[in-house]
Every structure is written in structure tokens, then in C-alpha cells.
Amino acid sequence: MNSTQELLGQRIAEKTARVGVIGLGYVGLPLLHAFIKAGFGTLGYDIDQAKVDQLLQGQSYIAHIPSDWITDWLAAQQFTATADMKRLQEADALLICVPTPLNESRDPDLSCIESTARHIAAALRPGQLVVLESTTYPGTTREVVLPILASSGLTVGEDYFLAFSPEREDPGNPDFSASRIPKVVGGLDPASRDLAVALYSPAVVKTIPVSSCEVAEACKILENTYRSVNIAMVNELKVLFTRLEIDIWEVIEAAKTKPFGFQAFYPGPGLGGHCIPIDPFYLSWLARRHEMPTRFIELAGEINASMPLYVVEQVMEALNDMGKPVRGSRIGILGAAYKKDVDDPRESPAFRLMELLIQRGAIISYNDPHIPVLPSMRHYRVPRLASEPLTAEYLAAQDCLVVATDHSAYDWEFIAKHARLIVDTRNATKQVAHKVKNFRKA
């Protein structure tokens, strides 16, 4: 163990090490919370000055993250935020939580990781630990981040340390806050891994050291591919069972009683969120470079992407049963977020649903208690509508209500009472479906 490693290890053990989190979004803020609760001083970095300003005023900009957290952090003097990347020198550990989207051709877009790495390289000093947390393909830490950091002239494993630890945040899940989720840690070398394990250990319930950054990177992609493939499978079975007049939801509840060998996944209107629709394509891109197709990933993507069209067909049939064409019908979408109780619209299938219905001449409106105005989306042509208040009049004025997201805030009894037709993609109305005039699961 060299003296740089020893000194940093000591600062971590004494909790005098300052933890820097780069990218203050859905992942970065809960991570800061975990370190602050563990007693560390922190520094948050984001290129978005508006977010930094809001945090410094004690305000959260994410619905399920209370502003009280931020005011407590500030009051305890354990947190400050900055958009000035020259201050990257001030932190002993730098945890990178920046976006990893797909580009227009659905290939990995690592530009945020690369620019963050360049900022770090410009500020890097001996005794710093850098950990990439953003989801990405195996090899990113070694092949993309390391060469950029090497331009600082410092030596990894001696002067500074580099690791990968995938973020497993499940936004809005009250049972699993960041500190309750075990963390997998892979280092570029043993010293880096040991320091990263030492850093995370007081902040999270369990750390799982693995033999390399690549294993840790692949672990995250495996987890998300597993979800994508299994969701696709139940989505396909939903379409089949609906034809067979078997309720997929009842089937899943029954299958869940098997105490081993089965994990429940649920169908829906398509895939949403920052992770599941995107991350598997990081792996298929890498596989293509190694001249290997990833058929499971491609097939799951194909099935999941076809679900909004399936839902639209169900809406058209349900309207048809009532003697109405979709053209000119008023259709209210309930829920625009990609999953319940969050305010995150990224990749939400509700947007594709709206787009498809608009293309067919429907008059679209929506309600989402967490999304007051629809953001403009890169990939979807949907007007920037405002959320409609869920009044009896609004509900009764819709020819069809499509349940796209099953937010807990919805009063299904009230909605069922006033709706003319409900098409439910989430089994949200299971207790009240019999009270709706016209009803269809989709």
C-alpha cells in the first residue's frame, strides 16, 4: 500500500474525506443523501446552474425527493453545490452520475461521461478516487474514462484511483432508498477497488467487491436486460392470453404463489424510464462490435416497442364497440410518467400512445398529478399539453380514458363512476372495473 492510498483510506475511515457527486439528478441526489446520512461532507456538481441554484436555496426539483432533505443537508453544513468544475479538486472522491442516453442511431452516447472525465482530468490531484456510476457497456471505465484521466499525467493505482460501481436506484420505491441497496464495486486495480469498497461501506447496506470494472459494468447491464426480456415475455403473453380470454394479471398472481423459480413481471403499455428501454442497447452495440447478435435483446426491444400500438388497437376496438371511430373521439390519458408515483417522463410509453392516437385523429388530453405540463420530447411529436384537472366533468367528457400509469394518487372509484369507457393497461382498476360502463384491459 503506498502512502497516497493509505492517506485516502484514513480520510475515508475517519469520514473526513469529502464526497463529490457529479450529476445531481434522479441518481445523484439520493446518493448524496446516503453519504450525508453516513456522516460525510459532500459537494454536488452539475453543469445546470439552475439546478445548483435551486439546491443552494434548499429546493428539490424531483417530486419524490423532499426539499427537507436539502435544507437539512445545508443546515448540517454537509453539502454545497456548484457548477464550477474547477472545484472538482476539492473532493476526495468523485462519483459520476451523469446521463448515458442513446444517440439518434440508437448507439451509446457517452458524451456526458467523456466531458465529465475531461473536467476531472483538468482538476485531478493525487489522492482522489474516481468512481463511474452511470450505466454503460463493459469496458467504458478502462477504455473511455481511463485514457482521458491519464492525460492528467497522474498514474492510476498510485496517484489516483478509479472504479466502477453501478447505480441501482429505483426512484419512488419507498422500500429501497439508496442506502438500502447493496452496491457492486469493481476497481481498475486492487487499490482502487479497496478504496471504493471502503468509501461505500458506511453509506450502503452492503458492498459486493468484484474482480474488475468490466464485471461491475456487465452486472448492471445484465440486471436491466433481465428486466427488459422478462417484461417483453409477459407483454407477448398478455396479447396471447387476451385472445384466449384469459386474464394475464390473474395468471401472474397465481404463478407468484410458487415459492421458487418464478419472479413476477407485469405487462404494460410499453417500456419507459431512463434504464430498461436504453441500457440493453449499450450491450447489443458492444456485441455488434464483436460480431455477435444479441437476439434476446433485439426481440425484447421489438415486442416492448410494439405495445403502444397494441394498446391503440384495443382503444379503437373498444370505441368501435360503442359505435365510435377514433377520429374525433376525446381520449384522456391517465398518467404520463413512465411508472407510478414518479415525475419522470423519460421514454414514457404514454408519449407514443398519444402520438399514435393523434395520428389517427383523436382529440387527446391527459392528466398526471406529477407532470403539470408535458415536456417537449426529442422523439415524439406530441403538443405541450397541460394536465387536466380530474373533475367529474372532465372524466365524463372523454369518450375513452386510457390508464397509462397507475399513480397511487388516482381515486379509481371516482374515475370509474364518471368514465364512459376505460382502457386499462396496468390493471389499476381491478377493484372497480365492474362499476365502469364500458371497460377493457389492454
Give the N- to C-terminal CA distance of the chain in Å, as an integer.
Answer: 60
What CA–CA distance (Å, rounded) separates 119 from 1? 28
Interaction between residue 187 and ligand NAD (CB under 6 A) = no
Q: Which three cell numbers stand for residue 120?
A: 476531472
Nearer to ligand NAD, 9 or 273 (CB): 273
What CA–CA distance (Å, rounded) separates 10 from 339? 42
Interaction between residue 137 and ligand NAD (CB under 6 A) = no
Q: Rule CB under 6 A: choose which of 27, 297, 331, 382 binds ligand NAD.
A: 27
What CA–CA distance (Å, rounded) separates 145 from 142? 6
Interaction between residue 112 and ligand NAD (CB under 6 A) = yes
Interaction between residue 167 and ligand NAD (CB under 6 A) = yes
Interaction between residue 100 and ligand NAD (CB under 6 A) = yes
State which residue has the least CB distance to ligand NAD. Answer: 25
What CA–CA distance (Å, rounded) separates 292 from 358? 39
Kindly state the smallest distance separating residue 344's Cβ from ligand NAD, in Å: 7
Nearer to ligand NAD, 98 or 303 (CB): 98
Residues 60, 29 contacting (CB under 8 angstroms): yes
Nearer to ligand NAD, 4 or 100 (CB): 100
- In sequence order, what DSSP letters do the residues of 374-438 get, joined into one string? PPP-SS-----PBPPP--HHHHHH-SEEEE----TT--HHHHHHH-SEEEESSSTTTTTGGGSSE
Q: Rule CB under 6 A: choose which of 275, 300, 401, 416 binds ligand NAD.
A: 275
Interaction between residue 280 and ligand NAD (CB under 6 A) = no
Q: Rule CB under 6 A: choose which of 17, 94, 98, 353 binds ligand NAD.
A: 98
Interaction between residue 24 and ligand NAD (CB under 6 A) = yes
Q: Rule CB under 6 A: choose which of 9, 20, 25, 187 binds ligand NAD.
A: 25
Closest CA to 56 of 39, 75, 41: 75
Residue count (the chain): 442
Alpha-helix runs per DSSP H in 290-348:
295-321
Kindly state the smallest distance separating residue 31's Cβ from ligand NAD, in Å: 9
Interaction between residue 9 and ligand NAD (CB under 6 A) = no
The residue range among 67-75, 123-131, 163-171, 428-436 that interacts with ligand NAD, by the rule CB under 6 A, is 163-171
The residue range among 24-32, 259-267, 323-331, 397-405 that interacts with ligand NAD, by the rule CB under 6 A, is 24-32
Nearer to ligand NAD, 85 or 442 (CB): 85
Interaction between residue 286 and ligand NAD (CB under 6 A) = no
Q: Rule CB under 6 A: choose which of 135, 152, 405, 427 binds ligand NAD.
A: 135
What CA–CA distance (Å, rounded) separates 216 from 166? 7
Which residue out of 97, 213, 219, 275 is catalytically annotated? Answer: 275
User: In angstroms, what is the C-alpha Rg of the chain?
Assistant: 24
Interaction between residue 140 and ligand NAD (CB under 6 A) = no
The residue range among 112-120, 260-268, 322-330, 380-388 that interacts with ligand NAD, by the rule CB under 6 A, is 112-120
In SS3 terms, 237-271 reads as HHHHHHHCCCCHHHHHHHHCCCCCCCCCCCCCCCC
- In sequence order, what DSSP letters do the residues of 90-142 get, joined into one string? G-SEEEE-----B-TTS-B--HHHHHHHHHHHHH--TT-EEEE-S---TTHII
Kindly state the smallest distance separating residue 64's Cβ from ligand NAD, in Å: 11
Beta strands in 153-216 (DSSP E): 161-164, 183-187, 207-210
Q: Please confirm, yes or no, whether 400 is among the known catalytic residues.
A: no
HSE, CB side, 13 Å, CA atoms: give it for residue 440: 23
- Site of interaction with ligand NAD (CB under 6 A): 22-28, 45-48, 51, 97-100, 112, 115-116, 134-135, 167-169, 171, 274-275
Q: List residues with catalytic annotation.
A: 275
